[in-house]
Amino acid sequence: MNVKAYCNEILIDFTNLVITALYYLFIVLGPVSERLVTEILRQCGIVINGSNASDIKVLDNRFYAKFLSGAWVGIAESYVDKYFECDDLIAMFAKLCKHKNFKYFCYHPAILWYAFIRRHFGLQSDESAYEDGGKGYDEGVFARDDNKDGEEEIYRTYSCAYWRNANSLEEALNKKLELVANKLKLKSGMRVLDVGCGEGTFCRYLAENFDVSVVGVNISKEMAETARKNCRNNKNVVIKRADGRKINETYDRIVCIEVIELMGIKNLRPFFETVHRCLSEDGLFFIECVAVNHPFIPITENLFEKFTDVKTAFPYFTDITNAIDGLFVIEDWQNIGTHYARMFKEEAKRIEQLQANEKSKFDEKVFTGTLVTYRFFSAMLASRYYHVYHIVLSKNGVQGGYDAVV
């Protein structure tokens, strides 16, 4: 372990120690903690043991200490540990998000200090790249959740869906793939790189619908193997298990869908420099990423890492523009964050079905934690605190201009 990673772990351990100390303090302060939480929730329109779907039914008084000491993670852990029940978690989180004092909740030490560590000590050194970004896709909730061949599924993807003119999750997932492909302005014979290709869904989509060759890279062993299986019938697709930051060949189009969040803010510039070097002079670079609303939303939510084992650092838009400065021309920038809000809502329903049908495969607490995490993210995206950016970049500017696609 390098020095930076060691310092990162020490600071995380210290943060967890402080949160634990706060928890026991609020346990001792029992009645005071209960009154404080009750008042905070009342101001947000949430009633303890009320009758509305967004109200909270407290089953264990430890909920109050968890709430005060752990912020979002405390709420999620309380739900997983059955300290409270709520009929509509998305509505409950939405009320918290919409309250005028919501930003002060974001300054809670359980969130702010954690985000400080992620920003200044970063993610994914060469030594920790798999642990930070790949392990959750091999062993966590994102691991394969059924026994079907990918060929039997219709372009299954784990990234944001696009709901324009779509009536189902399946349609919305296909609409997103179509949208991104159209933004790439593909031509026959082009060579495309998909960085962080997941199960090879987009690689297969491009190869089957356009006359292009595609290389997909992924740091996750499980995902890379599944991608090879899914793309085995297409000779125009090559899947490699590799770190996307170490690409070295030339491509006409480079695609990076919800990957830079896993790299860490400080690693964005080196990655973009690598992409710049590998992109043809008239090529296009497409980014899809989850981002946060400057200035007061922290860049990461340890709630997500807690239950998925995937470490993230969501950039501000200025982190992206600073990292591409002098390298790329911005051709197009679209925000589809509200589409992801609906996606997380639908995915939560899928998780519930999975929990009912395959309890033996995943730990029940992991499933319940993922459920509450997805519903939290749905509320944050719908409240416009989190965003999903589609960014199209070129090296020298598209001659004659770039025609935007929506």
Note the pLDDT tens digit of each residue in 262-281.
888 889 999 999 999 999 99
Give the H or E element holding residue 253: strand 251-257
pLDDT score recorded for residue 112? 76
Averaged pLDDT for residues 34-38: 96
Better-predicted residue by pLDDT, 293 or 38:
38
Burial bucket for residue 399 (CB in 10 Å: 0-12, 13-18, 19+): exposed
Say yes or no: 105 and 220 in one domain: no
* Domain total of the chain: 2
* Boundary-marking domain end, from 121, 137, 166: 121
> Among residues of the chain, what percentage have pLDDT more than 70?
86
pLDDT over threshold 50, residue 143:
no
Q: What is the pLDDT of residues 340-374, one digit of tens each?
A: 999 999 989 887 877 777 654 667 787 888 889 99
Mean pLDDT of the chain: 86
Peptide bond preceding 315 in cis form (omega within 30 of 0): no
pLDDT for 339 equals 97
- Would residue 397 be called left, alpha or beta, if left means φ above 0 and alpha means ψ between -120 and 50 degrees? left
Determine, yes or no, domain membership for 71. yes
| Pairwise CA distance, residues 66 & 180, whole Å | 41
Tell me what pLDDT residue 109 has. 77
Residue 92: which domain range?
Answer: 3-121
pLDDT at 361: 63
Render pLDDT for 313-350 as a digit per residue (tens, 0 to 9). Answer: 899 999 999 999 999 999 999 999 999 999 999 989 88
* pLDDT confidence of residue 296: 67
Greater pLDDT, 301 or 159: 159
| Residue 136 reports pLDDT greater than 60 | no
The predicted structure's pLDDT at residue 98: 87
Q: Based on the fold, state whether residues 185 and 265 are members of the same structural domain.
A: yes
Q: What is the mean pLDDT of residues 389-398?
A: 98
Predicted local distance difference test score (pLDDT) of residue 298: 72
Q: Do 217 and 283 share a domain, yes or no?
A: yes
More confident residue, 27 or 353: 27
Specify the pLDDT at position 130: 40
68 and 103 assigned to the same domain: yes
Q: Which range among 68-82, 126-140, 287-301, 377-391 shows the weakest confidence by mean pLDDT?
A: 126-140
Q: What is the pLDDT of residue 18?
A: 84
Residue 314 located in a structural domain: yes
pLDDT in tens, 176-209: 999 999 999 999 999 999 999 999 999 999 999 9
For residues 39 and 95, state if they share a domain.
yes
- Please check whether residues 101 and 200 belong to one and the same domain: no
Neighbours of 361 (CB within 10 A): 14
| 160 domain residue, yes or no | yes
Q: What is the CATH number of the domain that holds 365?
A: 3.40.50.150
**Pick from 81, 96, 121: which residue ends a domain?**
121
List, as own/partner pairs, every contact residues 11-16 make where C-beta atoms lie below 8 angstroms and the sequence separation is at least 24, other chains included.
11/113, 11/117, 11/121, 12/114, 12/117, 15/109, 15/110, 15/113, 15/114, 15/117
